[in-house]
Amino acid sequence: MAWIEDKGDRLIIWNGNEGRRGALSPELYDAINAAMDQARAPRIRAVILTSEGGFFCAGGDLNTLIERRKLSSPDRRARIELLHDLIRAIRACPVPVIAAVEGGAAGAGVSLALACDMVVAAEDAKFTVAYVKAGLVPDGGLTASLARALPRQMAMEMCLMGRPVAATRLAELGVVSACPEAGATFALAMEMADHIARGPRTAQGVIRQMVAAAYDGPEADQLSRERDAMVTAVAGHEAAEGIAAFLAKRKPNFETEHE
């Protein structure tokens, strides 16, 4: 479940789906895409992406990926492009987008957060890039976002180790804008939106375009690389083992092939 709250000069995208820790859903895709379209209205000055259930977004559902393994390569590619179109839409939004992260973000949830212009995360929040634990690879522009935001070694640590990283650590590295106490991220995001709303909308839009233009070429290439790699990874034996182990709540065994 996801919905848009219209606050006059800003739009709030609420990600519900509490029982699944805000996992990606068709409703969330629809809400984000609709909000990006609505943000073209001159009265809209900012967009806030947040959650209702105490966890920002857990990313994709591994049960869904099990079904995706049965699809043809072109169909798997098309499914991933839906996520990539979502990332592109956030990047192309005409007004600043702020992520308010409670609890944490995982997988494509991290992609969504880092696609935003600013990230406010609770001091106890964790960011987890755990694709590798399921024999998968990041998508949603995540390797590009991490590479631009972090030193190479830190980006590698997050992607290769798959361990949760504290929001406070990412704040020290400049990825997260602020780390208020738990429960206060939305209020701080609203304060930031208030500040933005008092600024020059046209100039802010041009600034966003200029900053984005510095990355557009490499990110477009990276999205294609991630898509192709994910299409292959989902059908691979490591994903079969990793997904099965995750659902069975056991440690995966990647030393034995599972074809």
For residues 62-73, average pLDDT: 85
State the average pLDDT over residues 190-200: 94
- The CA distance from 188 to 247, in Å, is 36
What does the radius of gyration of the chain's CA atoms come to, in whole angstroms? 18
pLDDT band at residue 82, thresholds of 50, 70 and 90? Answer: very high
pLDDT for the residue 258: 42
Determine the 3-state secondary structure of 14 from DSSP: strand
pLDDT score for 259: 43
pLDDT of residue 99: 98
- 64 falls in which pLDDT band (50, 70, 90)? confident
pLDDT at 216 over 80: no
Taking each continuous run of H as one helix and of E as one strand, the counts in the chain are 11, 8
- What DSSP string describes 69-103? TTS-HHHHHHHHHHHHHHHHHHHT-SS-EEEEESS
Q: Does residue 67 or residue 37 have the better pLDDT?
A: 37
Q: Distance (Å, rounded) from C-alpha 62 to C-alpha 218?
A: 29
Q: Is residue 239 part of a domain?
A: yes
What pLDDT is recorded for position 133?
94
- Mean pLDDT, residues 91-98 taken together: 95
**What CATH number corresponds to the domain at position 52?**
3.90.226.10
- Give 166-188 pLDDT, tens digit per residue: 999 999 999 999 999 999 999 99
The pLDDT-based confidence of 254 (bands split at 50, 70, 90) is: confident
Q: What is the pLDDT of residue 123?
A: 98
**Structural domain that includes position 242:** 1-181+201-259
String of DSSP letters for 131-174: GGGGT----TTHHHHHHHHS-HHHHHHHHHH---EEHHHHHHTT
pLDDT at 98: 98
Per-residue pLDDT tens digits for 220-229: 788 888 899 8
Which residue type occupies 100? A
Q: Cα torsion for 63, 69, 73, 78, to the nearest 10°?
A: -10
How far, in Å, CA of 155 to CA of 159, rounded?
A: 6
pLDDT above 80 for 24: yes
| CA-based nearest residue to 135, from 10, 240, 17 | 240
- CA 192, CA 187: separation in Å to the nearest integer? 9
Give the predicted TM-score (pTM) of the model.
0.89
Answer yes or no: is pLDDT of 143 > 80. yes
Number of domains, the chain: 1
Look at residue 101 and tell me if it is in a domain: yes
Question: Does residue 256 register a pLDDT over 70?
Answer: no
CB contact burial 138-154 (16+ within 10 A = b; e otherwise): bbbbbbbbbbbbbeeeb
Copy the structure tokens of residue 22: 């805000």
Span 104-129, pLDDT tens digits: 999 999 999 999 999 999 999 999 99
Which residues, in sequence order, are CB contacts of 49 under 8 Å at separation 6+? 13, 15, 32, 90, 97, 98, 99, 100, 112, 113, 116
On average, the pLDDT of the chain sits at 92
> Cα separation of 20 and 72, whole Å?
27
Domain assignment present for 186: no
